[in-house]
Amino acid sequence: MPPSADLRTLLWQHLQSLQSAGVDCLPRPDSQRVAQLNTASPPAGAAVPPSPAPTAPPAAETAMPRKPAAPVSTAPTDAAAAPSLEILQQLVAGCTRCDELAATRTQTVFGVGNPHARLCLLGEAPGADEDRTGEPFVGRAGQLLTKILEACGLKRDDVYILNVLKCRPPGNRNPEPDEAANCRGFLDRQLDLIQPEFICCLGAVAARNLLDTQVAIGKLRGSVHDYRGIKVVCTYHPAYLLRNPAAKGATWEDMKLLMRELGQPVD
Pattern 53-72, ligand SF4, x by CB under 6 A: --------------------
> How many other β-carbons are positioned within 10 Å of the β-carbon of residue 45?
5
**Which of 187/217 has CB closer to ligand SF4?**
187
Among 82, 145, 166, 198, binds ligand SF4 (CB under 6 A): 166
Looking at this protein, which amino acid is placed at residue 217? Answer: I
In the three-class reduction of DSSP (H, G, I as helix; E, B as strand; rest coil), residue 231 is classed as strand
Instruction: Please tell me whether residue 92 binds ligand SF4 under the rule CB under 6 A.
Output: yes
- Residues binding ligand SF4: number (CB under 6 A): 15
Q: Are 125 and 164 in contact (CB under 8 A)?
A: yes
- Give me the DSSP letters along 164-194: S-SSPPGGGPPPPHHHHHHHHHHHHHHHHHH
* Minimum CB distance to ligand SF4, residue 80 (Å): 14
Instruction: Please tell me whether residue 109 binds ligand SF4 under the rule CB under 6 A.
Output: no
Burial-class residue 34 by CB neighbours within 10 Å (0-12, 13-18, 19+): exposed
**Which of 110/198 has CB closer to ligand SF4?**
110
Instruction: Please tell me whether residue 102 binds ligand SF4 under the rule CB under 6 A.
Output: yes
Instruction: Please tell me whether residue 97 binds ligand SF4 under the rule CB under 6 A.
Output: yes
Among 16, 90, 182, 235, binds ligand SF4 (CB under 6 A): 182
How many angstroms separate the Cα of 29 from the Cα of each of 39, 51, 64, 102, 163? 16, 17, 14, 39, 43
* Minimum CB distance to ligand SF4, residue 172 (Å): 14
Residue 228 CA, distance from chain mean position: 16
Instruction: Please tell me whether residue 179 binds ligand SF4 under the rule CB under 6 A.
Output: yes
Instruction: Please tell me whether residue 79 binds ligand SF4 under the rule CB under 6 A.
Output: no
Instruction: Please tell me whether residue 108 binds ligand SF4 under the rule CB under 6 A.
Output: yes
Among 79, 112, 117, 167, binds ligand SF4 (CB under 6 A): 167
* Minimum CB distance to ligand SF4, residue 166 (Å): 4
Applying CB under 6 A, which part among 11-19, 54-62, 90-98, 208-216 lies near ligand SF4?
A: 90-98
- Beta-carbon contacts of 130 under 8 Å, excluding residues fewer than 6 positions away, are 109, 136, 137, 138, 139, 142, 168
110 phi, psi to nearest 5 deg? -80, -55
Q: How far apart are the first and last CA of the chain?
A: 54
**Which of 95/161 has CB closer to ligand SF4?**
95
| Interface with ligand SF4 (CB under 6 A) | 92, 95-98, 101-102, 108, 165-167, 179, 182-183, 186
